[in-house]
Structure 1
Amino acid sequence: MNELKLTDKEWKGFLIGNLFDVKIGKSIDGNKVNREQGYYAYITRKEQNNGLDGFIDYDEAYLNTDYPVITIGNETAEPFVQNYPFFTGTKVNILKAKQTLSREVLSFIVSSLKQHKSKYSYSFTINSTRLRKQVVMLPVNGKNAPDWQFMEDFIKQKEQKQIDEITDYYASQAFSLMIDTGNLKGTNWKEFFISDYFDFIRGNQSNMAKCQTGKIPLVSAKKVDNGYKDFIEYNGKSLFSSHIITLNNDGDGGVGMAYYQPAECALDTHVTALLPKLELSKFTMLFIACSITNQRDKFSHGYSINNNRLKFQKIMLPVNKDNLPDWQLMADFMQKIEQDKIKTVLAYYNSTKNERGGVTRLADNVKWQTFVIEDICEIYSGVRLIKQDMQEGIIPFIGASDSHNGVTAFVANSNASLDKNVLGVNYNGSVVESFYHPYECLFSDDVKRLKIKDCSVGKHAYLFLKMAILQQKSKYQYGYKFNAKRMAKQKILLPVNSDNSPNWAFMENYMKQIELEKIQVILKYYQ
């Protein structure tokens, strides 16, 4: 099917009241229902999560069994499509189509309804009377009637594109995690020094500003585009042969990234070339590059890679019966990844590892110990920034929220709270809720920043720490805030090494395995 475009259609305005029967929900006292242990969806005026505000059990005479329908909150004017039976209250409008319309068509109409959201507010609500008179613009067919088929096909096409992007992203994540955790079916793994199999040569392009545009790839310490910065003319400096791995020594966000280079190239001085000491295939080199990249969390702009550190750097590789690197297995795996990434990660995933007591079952066998948060983390405060002073921009602003990873706005402001690679913990608002932020963002004064003192740990250690802190959530509330003093003295349980220090390596591997399991479920669902 050719790509459908909205600009290819004629459009016309239609009254909601001519397309839908509009009614309100039934009277349910939200303060008297348990939203955590019920069966049916409870839809309220929330602007996120499809309006879902928990699951409840209630008198089924109040249950809405007509679906799919559109719901839209009076004050928030945020429309959603509901595909299952649900309960809702009198502050939510329910739009039931006067003719049978698919979920996809309703989703298209929701997009059109959202264009009118800004005209409604708490003082001018989108009640059922106003909603019936609301005009929405829709594409029309040759008879000037709504083109339902086009709307359905457009949404299906858009959703399929999103599914393809999501599954490709998660397949890439699973692929990296499977290599990082040694989770390939039928394999044993072992540590090896990179220096056992590669020689190291530092790049030599020290003045890239003087390079002339040409056809030779110039590799820099970028985190995208295989490290390519530009294409240059030969300038007399030695070039590097094809079939090597390049490794970013430093750089903001790119340090530790490794790339396979299939063509002759020039390297800047922030990049090291890894030249194989033995004959390795392209696909084996791709596997090794991924394994090296998986170590990048231990490096940063302030802790860069040099040849001395690289000489002692180890990577995990699958081994053969002689306990040597299984180059052929690596090549076969990468070749299949190139052909069909999703099918390959599903086929190679070692699901029995967890069924027979793998890493995700080891928590019961690990020694645990109590730690005071201030002993393992630095604690920093956020900075007050009121809504009136916010400048619209692209920097995430982290508020005391329990959703959207804590992001409540995007701003152009700057202040002392600008930070990344930290755990943001709410001491106010949604108390104790916490989110990991690998990207630069600003923090509200209602959010504390926790930075693990061991600078070698990364994302997955922070995710484990998050879960450990969340176990204390029940003792704090709006009237008993998780302030800096209480946070510093709060005790949490963590796995430990033989010397009773936090076993960050176990925690990271544990969370990687959990993430990998979840990704496998997603990929199987969409297959």
Structure 2
Amino acid sequence: MLSLNDREWKTFQLTDIFSIKSTSSSIDKIKLKRIAGHYPYITRTDTNNGINDFVCKQEGYQLDGGNCITIGLDTQTAFYQDNAFYTGQNIQVLRNSKINRYNAKFILPILKNTLSVFNWGGNGATLTRLKRSKILLPITDKGEPDYTFMEQYIKERERQIIQNYIDYIGKNIQIGGALPPLNQKEWREFRICDIFTIGAGKRLTRADMLSGNKPFIGATDNNNGITEFVSNTNVSEDSNVLGVNYNGSVVENFYHPYTCIFSDDVKRFKLKNGQGNAYIYLFLKTMILQQKNKYTYGYKFNEKRMHRQFLLLPIDESGLPDWIYMEEYAKQIYYKIRLEYLQQKALTITA
């Protein structure tokens, strides 16, 4: 493993390492065209890689190119941006043709430490003070920043983290043991109303929505049912629940472990036994989706039909829903998918 202690380090003027320029866009949030899109909108927030939203093309504003570091001066935030983006106000963009997503991750903690000397008082962050700042970096034999070492150091750590997780998941799969396949389980029909309590959503018009961080669940078939983030609250607020569409994309349903509010086109399915967790709900989600072909826009999955609808579920020796089997089966699927993903991801981190 590469070590930081066997490297020689040198202090550099920040402007010797990066070109530092103000953002090309600088769109005030109130002027944003708030239509969902693929372009990150970067602000001075200290979370979510600085991303406040994903927006559509903003006419009259120029995108900033990716492969750079963004700095929020007055909040002392710094993040690496891989893709093209728009920004809010007071964002500085740092560029260096030799950085990439790996060595940028090495530089960022050092840069944030440099920014930490700034505050909201007389020593507040300004562009002039930023340009006068210095940064300590490992160097080559020629006394230049060793970007290759920084890249390899981060790659090594990422590979180790992924391998640790692969080992952890492998152990969980072994602990779960061999489950009987679905076709070897006994199954029985249950009415939805015998399994779930069914709660209503609440109408919230777009005009009444207040911007915030709480997911608003609409009758869509994507994005885990989230159509907006709001700060509103109402009687539909819930968590650890399935949101099931009876209008729009009928029968589509998503699990929501977090606190959210629901459109009046979405019903809330809560397990009556009170033992629901992510794995059980995800198993039941699939069982509910088996009914999708039965319902259409003209034959809605309304509450009355929900109560009458049967679901086919695996049962235990008592003839009751086998919640343990459902949980373990969903866990095994989850772990196997994660394991495959991590194994593929490890291959992308080249030497």
The interval holding the TM-score normalised by the smaller chain is 0.5 to 0.7
Identity score, percent: 31
Change (3 A) 1:100 1:117: closer
Partner of 2:192: 368
Aligned residues, how many? 259
Query: Does the aligned pair in 2 maintain the 1:77–1:125 contact within 8 Å?
Result: no
Change (3 A) 1:514 1:41: farther
TM-superposition CA deviations, 1:89-117 (whole Å, max 9, x none): 222211011x4333322221112112234
Query: Does the aligned pair in 2 maintain the 1:22–1:94 contact within 8 Å?
Result: yes
Partner of 1:63: 63
Change (3 A) 1:96 1:435: farther
- Alpha-carbon separation, structure 1, partners of 2:74 and 2:180: 48
Query: Does the aligned pair in 1 maintain the 2:7–2:138 contact within 8 Å?
Result: yes
- Structure number with greater Rg is 1
Matched, 1:46 2:17: no
TM-superposition CA deviations, 1:92-148 (whole Å, max 9, x none): 211011x43333222211121122343334556534322212211111233332222
Q: How does 1:15-54 map to 2 (within 5 A)?
A: 15-25=13-23, 26-33=25-32, 37-54=36-53
TM-superposition CA deviations, 1:437-473 (whole Å, max 9, x none): xxxxxxxxx99xxx9884766553477899xxxxxxx
Q: How does 1:403-418 map to 2 (within 5 A)?
A: none
TM-superposition CA deviations, 1:183-225 (whole Å, max 9, x none): 8xxxx6469xxxxxxxxxxxxxxxxxxxxxxxxxxxxxxxxxx
Change (3 A) 1:143 1:521: closer
Change (3 A) 1:8 1:58: same
Q: What is the CA distance between 1:85 and its match in structure 2?
A: 1.4
Partner of 1:6: 4
Tell me the SS of whatever aligns to 1:14. strand
Query: Does the aligned pair in 2 maintain the 1:496–1:502 contact within 8 Å?
Result: no
TM-superposition CA deviations, 1:482-518 (whole Å, max 9, x none): xxxxxxxxxx9998789xx998568746854773575
- Alpha-carbon separation, structure 2, partners of 1:146 and 1:133: 18
TM-superposition CA deviations, 1:18-56 (whole Å, max 9, x none): 211111222213234366620222222222222222221
> For the aligned residues, what is the CA RMSD?
4.6
In structure 1, what residue type is equivalent to 2:334? E
In structure 2, what residue type is equivalent to 1:460? Y
- Alpha-carbon separation, structure 1, partners of 2:30 and 2:190: 42
Query: Does the aligned pair in 2 maintain the 1:461–1:507 contact within 8 Å?
Result: yes
Q: How does 1:421-500 map to 2 (within 5 A)?
A: 432=237, 434=239, 454=273, 460-461=279-280
Partner of 2:244: none
- Alpha-carbon separation, structure 1, partners of 2:180 and 2:129: 57
Which ranges in structure 1 are unaligned for 5 or more consecutive residues? Answer: 192-358, 360-364, 374-399, 404-427, 437-445, 467-491
- Alpha-carbon separation, structure 1, partners of 2:80 and 2:166: 23
Matched, 1:90 2:89: yes
Partner of 2:155: 156
In structure 2, what residue type is equivalent to 1:159? E
Q: What is the CA distance between 1:7 and its match in structure 2?
A: 1.0
Query: Does the aligned pair in 1 maintain the 2:33–2:55 contact within 8 Å?
Result: yes
Change (3 A) 1:122 1:455: same
Tell me the SS of whatever aligns to 2:92. strand
In structure 2, what residue type is equivalent to 1:166? Y
Which ranges in structure 2 are unaligned for 5 or more consecutive residues? Answer: 200-211, 216-229, 242-258, 261-269, 286-305, 314-319
Query: Does the aligned pair in 1 maintain the 2:162–2:342 contact within 8 Å?
Result: no
Query: Does the aligned pair in 1 maintain the 2:42–2:52 contact within 8 Å?
Result: yes
- Normalising by structure 1, we get a TM-score of 0.40
Query: Does the aligned pair in 2 maintain the 1:68–1:84 contact within 8 Å?
Result: yes
Change (3 A) 1:458 1:435: closer
Q: What is the CA distance between 1:4 and its match in structure 2?
A: 0.9
Tell me the SS of whatever aligns to 2:75. coil
TM-superposition CA deviations, 1:138-192 (whole Å, max 9, x none): 1123333222222122112112112212333344445556845748xxxx6469x
In structure 2, what residue type is equivalent to 1:53? N
Which structure would you say has the larger RCO, counting Cα contacts within 8 Å and 6 or more residues apart?
Answer: 2
- Alpha-carbon separation, structure 1, partners of 2:310 and 2:169: 28
Tell me the SS of whatever aligns to 1:39. strand
In structure 2, what residue type is equivalent to 1:73? G
Q: How does 1:226-375 map to 2 (within 5 A)?
A: 367-369=191-193, 371=197
Change (3 A) 1:526 1:146: closer
- Alpha-carbon separation, structure 1, partners of 2:240 and 2:77: 26
Query: Does the aligned pair in 2 maintain the 1:51–1:80 contact within 8 Å?
Result: yes
Query: Does the aligned pair in 1 maintain the 2:40–2:85 contact within 8 Å?
Result: yes
Change (3 A) 1:75 1:514: farther
- Alpha-carbon separation, structure 2, partners of 1:147 and 1:78: 24
Partner of 1:131: 130
Partner of 1:73: 72
Q: What is the CA distance between 1:434 and its match in structure 2?
A: 4.6
In structure 1, what residue type is equivalent to 2:99? L
Change (3 A) 1:523 1:92: same
In structure 1, what residue type is equivalent to 2:192? W
* The 10-residue stretch of structure 1 (99-108 or 8-17) with the greater mean CA deviation from structure 2: 99-108
Tell me the SS of whatever aligns to 1:6. coil
Q: What is the CA distance between 1:6 and its match in structure 2?
A: 0.7
In structure 1, what residue type is equivalent to 2:73? N
- Alpha-carbon separation, structure 2, partners of 1:76 and 1:133: 18
Change (3 A) 1:6 1:53: same
- Normalising by structure 2, we get a TM-score of 0.57
